[in-house]
Chain A
């Protein structure tokens, strides 16, 4: 187990679908590890949040990003590319959470240094399972950069 963090883990959820976003939040709410989940709805907002621009001037630096690929305004792959090109942001683990099963998307994401590629589960049970795996592995087991 990781050493108990004093502050809750900051998670940025980049997701345009309100139903998916709510579901993810709902499942994360049941997690045992203290965390704080912020949601943005498109690629531009995501980058503003990360660069603390505009209305996100006081936004916290996330410890983990959950990134959907098919986003309005700026595509998830572009967001991923920008994050990984920035020396500060590139340290943040990015978990791609998408509907796409396309092998092309999988390859593209890993080539752009995504830390993990997950497809969105089809039902509640699987959703719960997926979130609990993220929680156990990424938030509990993995040593993250400070």
Chain B
């Protein structure tokens, strides 16, 4: 049908050769014009309709061919328009070109349509068409079932996607929560670490702090913890013993202009903060994030704190040796603050460090004071012994010497009884002189600083024997000794010790001539020295008493002496960190023992 139409258009091509011939006949012209316009409209509308239909059907297979057909019809329509134009203004070149274009389009289209024409011709029979239709219906049905299946699948997929999305969302939420928690834990750990570092730094700083630096260091320490915790004010109030005055108040605040000083007096503090101070006395922590939440009975405390613009308060009691010695705390002045476990921990640890340092410094100062007092009393004692040694001896010397002079110069004028009196005076004065001398030695032993050196006991003993030469000779005594070790000791004191012990053995001799033997053994890092004699011996029940000053077991007539010699021995041994004791049976001699520690220096020899 379509090729026929296009042929028609070609054959009915309006040739312009006779153009002018009918231009003068108006009716004819209008007939042509209207006819041409109608045909143009017909072509244009046909082509538009075709494009519309083709588009709507979305027939992919035919579209290029229909495109060509439409183009061909537009060309034809245009030719009729130009025909009208040519009646008055011939433009044959243009019409010619368009005719050629139309012919080219037609040739291309015919070329493409040839196979379709044969197909179309073969479709003309109704039976095949019905078959084709049925086939198509089946295919459509098939396609529809496929479509339903696909749709089903799609909706299933959609459900699953929705479910999965929900699951993912839940997981995501959980993860976010976990990340949040982890971050929180990490932050807590970080805080804990920083806290530990701070505490360790403070401990190191305070552990060996000298008393002069304590105040400054506490001030700096307060600043450090205040900055660490980010609080407006931190303070320490120390109660002095005895109360009521505060021994010391330390505070640090980042708000210099709003600095408030607590009363320097515990009574005043108890008046202003009765509720809080009672809690502190009962060793409780005051943890208030909002002062307004204080109970009714704490209205006085509340007023006082509000006057100072304090919004939140954290206060801890401080203890030393189980006693309440003060308190320390944080204030928040600019804004309310919820005190954390970390804040409490920081305050508690810092408080421990501060109070330990403070107490240690106080003890140090007390020790210095005590030492000073001891030195003073030692000085006084020295003066006293000096007085004793000089001023007491002089009158005694006058008594004895002038009594003797009296006896000498007035011998003839005195009777026997007067001579006896004189003897008593002289004897008494001399005994007193001896007593003073011994007392001086005794006091000097404890007072004078010891001068330790390595001493050979054998050499020392020879010196002692030389000092006792006269007494040994008079008593016809024999002093023998085994190999003796070297000891670290004060030489002059050791000489005094040996001398007193050997002299003791000579003094308390029996009827036999005295035999003194000296030996030494080693026991548990100690040298044990033994001075064995064959003297009168001592009843074991007196073995402690003999070392006590002024204790005498015998009458002065039998054995003269002051009763200081062995007390001096005990003192010397104890000053050398040793011990002195005896083993004795009356009538069978005495063994004096004393121990001296073995110094490492000696044992290595």
Q: Give me the interface of A with B, judged by CB distance under 8 Å.
A: 17, 19-20, 23, 26, 70, 99-103, 120-125, 127
Contact = CB atoms under 8 A, between A and B. Distances in A.
Interface in B178-234: none
B390 A122 contact: no
Nearest to A123: B400
Contacts, number: 54
Given A99-B389, A99-B393, A23 B430 contact: no
Contact of B405 (A17, A26, A99, A101): A26
A23 B394 contact: no
Nearest to A127: B401
A26 B402 CA distance: 11
B430 A19 contact: no
Contacts of A127: 401
Contacts of A122: 393, 396-397, 400, 429-430, 433
B426 A20 contact: no
B408 A70 contact: no
Nearest to B407: A124
A19 B397 CA distance: 9
B402 A100 contact: no
Nearest to B408: A124
What are the 5 tightest A-B residue pairs by CB atom distance, in nearest-first order?
A124-B404, A19-B398, A124-B401, A122-B433, A99-B390
Given A101-B440, A122-B430, A124-B408, A19 B389 contact: no
B389 A124 contact: no
A17 B429 CA distance: 18
B402 A23 contact: yes
A146 to B, nearest CB: 35
Contact of A20 (B397, B400, B429): B397
Given A23-B402, A101-B389, 9 more contacts: A17-B398, A19-B398, A19-B402, A23-B401, A102-B386, A102-B389, A120-B397, A122-B400, A125-B404
A120 B408 CA distance: 20
A49 to B, nearest CB: 23
B66 to A, nearest CB: 143
Contacts of B437: 101
Contacts of B398: 17, 19-20, 23
Interface residues of B, number: 23
B394 A19 contact: yes
13 contacts: A19-B395, A19-B401, A23-B401, A99-B394, A100-B389, A100-B390, A101-B389, A121-B397, A122-B393, A122-B396, A122-B429, A123-B400, A125-B404
Contacts of B394: 17, 19-20, 99
B401 A123 contact: yes
A129 B45 CA distance: 174
A112 B394 CA distance: 25
Given A19-B394, A20-B394, A20-B397, A123 B405 contact: no
Contacts of A99: 389-390, 393-394, 397
Nearest to A120: B397
Contacts of B444: 102
A23 B389 contact: no
A123 B390 contact: no
A68 to B, nearest CB: 10
Given A70-B390, A99-B393, A101-B437, A23 B426 contact: no
Contacts of B433: 122
Instruction: Choose among B390, B430, B437 the residue with the greatest number of A CB atoms under 10 Å from its CB.
Output: B390
Contact of A23 (B393, B405, B429, B440): B405
Contacts of B396: 122
B460 to A, nearest CB: 17
A123 B394 CA distance: 11
A72 to B, nearest CB: 12
A71 to B, nearest CB: 11
A70 B388 CA distance: 13
Interface string B371-401: 0000000000000001001100111111011
Contacts of A23: 398, 401-402, 405
A13 to B, nearest CB: 15
A39 to B, nearest CB: 16
Interface string B412-428: 00000000000000100
Contacts of B402: 19, 23
Contacts of B386: 102
Nearest to B403: A124
A20 B398 CA distance: 7
B570 to A, nearest CB: 21
Contacts of B401: 19, 23, 123-124, 127
B404 A123 contact: yes
A37 B372 CA distance: 47
A137 to B, nearest CB: 22
Nearest to B393: A99
A127 B426 CA distance: 14
Nearest to B426: A123
Interface string B431-447: 00100010010001000
A124 to B, nearest CB: 4
A124 B393 CA distance: 14
Nearest to A26: B405
Nearest to B406: A124
A19 B430 CA distance: 17
Nearest to B395: A19
A123 to B, nearest CB: 5
Contacts of B390: 70, 99-100
Nearest to B396: A122
Instruction: Choose among A19, A99, A101, A124 the residue with the greatest number of B CB atoms under 10 Å from its CB.
Output: A124
Nearest to A104: B448
A23 B408 CA distance: 13
A100 B440 CA distance: 10
